[in-house]
Amino acid sequence: MPFAGGALDVTELTETDNLALPGGALAVAQQAAASAWHAGLSRLLVNGSTAGIQAMLLWCKAHGLRVVLPRDMHVSAAQACALFDIQPVWVWPGYDDDDMLARCPEFTGFGAGDAIFVTYPDYYGRCAHLARIQEANPGALLLCDAAHGAHFAFYDGWPPDAGAAGADAWVAGIHKTLPAPTQTALLHVNNTAIMADIDLYLQAITTTSPSFWLLCGADDARVYMQTQADALAAHAQRCMSFVDACAQEGWECLGQDWAQAAGFAGKDALRIVIDTGRRGLSGWEAAWLLAEQDIFVEMGDARRLVLVTSPLDTQPDYDRLLAALIRLPVGPPLAAHPVPLVRPVAQMSLHAALFAHKEWVDLAQAPGRIAARPFGAYPPGLPLCVGGEPICAGAVDTIRRATALGGSVYGLRENQICVVK
């Protein structure tokens, strides 16, 4: 069967422009994106948010900046550091005794010569105080993985878009929350020093044959968000109504107070987080039970479901989801499951571990061995351990529990893990 989008699957022509050196239609599209997101410079990405993260970190490497990474970052940031031989300064968030849900990391004592990398928002929609981070670290660059916050620029009220909140550069995964094709993202820059040569580093990691079908889809999504104010308002209202309806049926949706109690400024109200533990289900179990009813959520964890909503979701979609939640079994509340996760001391750099001789060992043999690559639950993609660090028993216990309850993980192969030989 011919590809349905074949009419747009073209290469670099006079009419289509060249993403590596745009001077026509793509230049206009990128300028329009910069205007929409209030950025000094915007670049279309077809390698997902990962490409933007790689470009920002590669720029830091080239300019001799020290990279400050919180341990609640997405694994793609750790992988980029390993590839580019960046050994970051780790900032550890606190962890609740509730299945390792991270509190907001605190950044203090950094300044000129440092680049602080912040996830804004995190997978649960929780947003850090970017202004406070800047105040506490004068002179430091603020880079944001805003992959899940591309929509912030188009909705009134809080939370603000990463750029409006003060980020020097940020990547927005528009395919996550905008009606855009998978793989599409945008890199935005407001810092003049980064703007001067970021294209050199983007071109080093980006395909030379971008899909114009993806590029057109990304631009169409931007147009939709700028022209469909009524649809966006209706979307916000449907989310609020769904949260209220859940409460009436005994399902608690975690909101602003929950995020603020963990040290965040607040939470994206359009990302719905449902506490399943109070009804006797892990989020993984609830996700599987919903999938049996042909309802597929973004993710589950040990105690919660996370739903990524869209202005294209209809009221019948919310009604069907609520009806499916009502049908889920109810049991006694889950007990807390503290995880004895230690802060490992790296035995070698991320880069050295990536290129070291490796072997695969059973999970039972993993504690004490040096990880050759990151591993953890996916989603949300936060690494329990990164390359070069000794594997602790708590991390192995978490992986076993996640897989036993139906969760998915990355960094494993048939119950084996990759370690330095």
Cβ contacts of 168 within 8 Å, gap of 6 or more? 141, 142, 143, 189, 190, 191, 194
The distance from CA 134 to its chain's CA centroid, rounded to whole angstroms, is 21
Q: Which residues pair with 265 in a beta bridge?
A: none
DSSP structure string for 1-58: ---TTGGG---S-TTT--TTS--SHHHHHHHHHHHHTT-SEEEEESSHHHHHHHHHHH
Structure confidence at residue 99 (pLDDT): 67
Q: Which of 245, 302, 294, 243 is nearest to 278 (CA)?
A: 302
Contact by Cβ (8 Å): 139, 68: no
The distance from CA 74 to its chain's CA centroid, rounded to whole angstroms, is 6
Alpha helices in 143-208 (DSSP H): 174-177, 192-205
pLDDT per residue rounded down to tens, the chain (421 residues):
445 556 677 777 777 888 989 999 999 999 999 999 999 999 999 999 999 999 999 999 999 999 999 998 999 999 999 999 999 999 998 877 666 688 999 999 999 999 999 999 999 999 999 999 999 999 999 999 999 999 999 998 789 999 999 999 999 999 999 999 999 999 999 999 999 999 999 999 999 899 999 999 999 999 999 999 999 999 999 999 999 999 999 999 999 999 999 999 999 999 999 999 999 999 999 999 999 999 999 999 889 999 999 999 999 999 999 999 999 999 999 988 776 677 889 999 999 999 999 999 999 999 999 999 999 887 787 888 999 999 998 889 888 888 887 778 889 998 899 999 9
Peptide bond into 380 cis (omega under 30): yes
Structure confidence at residue 43 (pLDDT): 98
CA distance linking residue 182 with residue 380, whole number of Å: 17
CA distance linking residue 183 with residue 287, whole number of Å: 24
Whole-prediction pTM value? 0.94
- Sorted by where each starts, the structural domains of the chain and their CATH numbers stand as 8-227 (3.40.640.10), 229-327 (3.90.1150.10), 350-420 (3.90.105.10)
Structure confidence at residue 1 (pLDDT): 41
Cβ contacts of 335 within 8 Å, gap of 6 or more? none
CA distance linking residue 349 with residue 64, whole number of Å: 17
